[in-house]
Structure formats: structure tokens, C-alpha cells
Chain A
């Protein structure tokens, strides 16, 4: 099975900072990569799919890039409501594995 590895596991940044989360697949998954946000105690929310397509209603400060094995989620200007754990997911084939998550906090 393809493994998904995120880094870092957690980060702390100031409001307004640019934040980057990385996801690496153990094999080529083309652009079949999604990012989810899970705020504390809430249901996961789809942010980005096809590596870089913003889901409807998601603020434009979120962006995604990458293809093949290396992917990035960027928050251009961190806001207090962005405190959450972020997960990448490969969905090109089963199993649709998630990364282990990256917890983003405000400094």
C-alpha cells in the first residue's frame, strides 16, 4: 500500500504568517491528492482536491500544489479560525489512505 507522510507533525505560527504543510506519497499518485481541515471536536472538511483545486466556499488563502509524490498545502495568511489539524489523503485507488495529520496552532 502507498504510505502518506506529512511534515511537520505540528507547528505554531503567528496570525498573518504564511504556513506550509508537506505531504509525501511513497509512490506516484499523479494529482489524486486531497487536503482536509479538522477543527477541534469537528467533522473533517474538504479544502482542496486534485492537488490544487479549491473546494467551493473555501477561503482563497488556502492553496495546494504538487504532483507525483510531493505535495504542499499553503495558508497564505494564518487566521485564528485556521487552528486545526490538516490531513492529506490519496484517492487514486484503494486504500484511500490519509496522512497522519499536521496540527496547526497560533503562537
Chain B
């Protein structure tokens, strides 16, 4: 049974950066990709990007390119997501989510972190 546990909520000022971590357990970390999804208050789900813990390859949604960096630490089975130049529009719950299918095949998300709230406010 996979488990994804995220770091605590954050409050940031506009223009700052936030780094969110997602510690995994219960499976081989390098076997399945990790995705980041966010949800603004009262809004729908937005896919931000994907990283392969096996290769470090990333694929970012166009609207976040240049502002987001996803990384992994295989020694601790942890995925990280850093978002820079925050604005109030970035206030949201941020989730990590594991690919159901291992490898590089198209995949939905079977296990999710609990989500953490990032609030951007002056």
C-alpha cells in the first residue's frame, strides 16, 4: 500500500517561492512517476507537471514553465515541487499524486498525498 505524505501548509508573500515535499513509502519510489496537481479554493483540479524519479525527466504544464521546478531525492523517496514568483492566484491546495502505471506509459493517478494549503498574501 503506497503512502504519500506531504509537508505542512505554508504562508508566503507575493513574489516569494514555496517548496513542497512529498515523502513516499510502501512501494519502489523509482518505479512510478509523480505528478503535482493544485486546486484553488472552490475550484477544480489543475495538473502542474510530472517527474520520473527513475530518470529525473520532467514535463511541466506550459503555464508553469519557467516558474516551477520538480525534483526527487531517491535516498529519502521524496518528491519536491518549488514554485517561484508567487501571486495571490497561486493560493491553493497542492497535491502530489503517483502514476498508477510504472514506467513511461500513459497513466492516471492512483495514490495522492493529503494536500497542503499554500496561501499567498501580503
Contact = CB atoms under 8 A, between A and B. Distances in A.
Interface string A19-60: 000000000000010101010000111100100000100000
B109 interface: yes
Interface residues on A, range: 20 to 34
A91 B112 contact: no
B47 A32 contact: no
Interface string A81-94: 00000010101111
Contact of A43 (B35, B61, B95): B95
Contacts of B61: 94-95
Given A43-B95, A46-B100, A101-B44, A91 B114 contact: no
Contacts of A1: 62
Nearest to A48: B108
B44 A94 contact: no
A95 B110 contact: no
Interface residues on B, range: 20 to 34
Interface in B108-122: 108-110, 112-115
Contact of B108 (A38, A91, A93): A91
Given A32-B106, A43-B112, A94-B50, A49 B44 contact: no
Q: Give chain A's interface secondary structure class.
A: loop
B103 to A, nearest CB: 14
B45 A87 contact: yes
B85 to A, nearest CB: 20
B106 A91 contact: yes
A11 B99 CA distance: 30
A98 interface: yes
Given A94-B59, A94-B61, A95-B61, A100 B108 contact: no
Complex A-B, nearest 10 residue pairs according to Cβ-Cβ distance, in ascending order: A34-B108, A98-B45, A49-B108, A96-B47, A101-B44, A43-B112, A94-B59, A95-B61, A100-B44, A91-B106
19 contacts: A32-B106, A36-B45, A44-B45, A44-B97, A44-B109, A46-B100, A46-B110, A49-B100, A55-B110, A89-B45, A91-B108, A92-B106, A93-B106, A95-B61, A96-B47, A98-B44, A98-B45, A101-B44, A101-B45
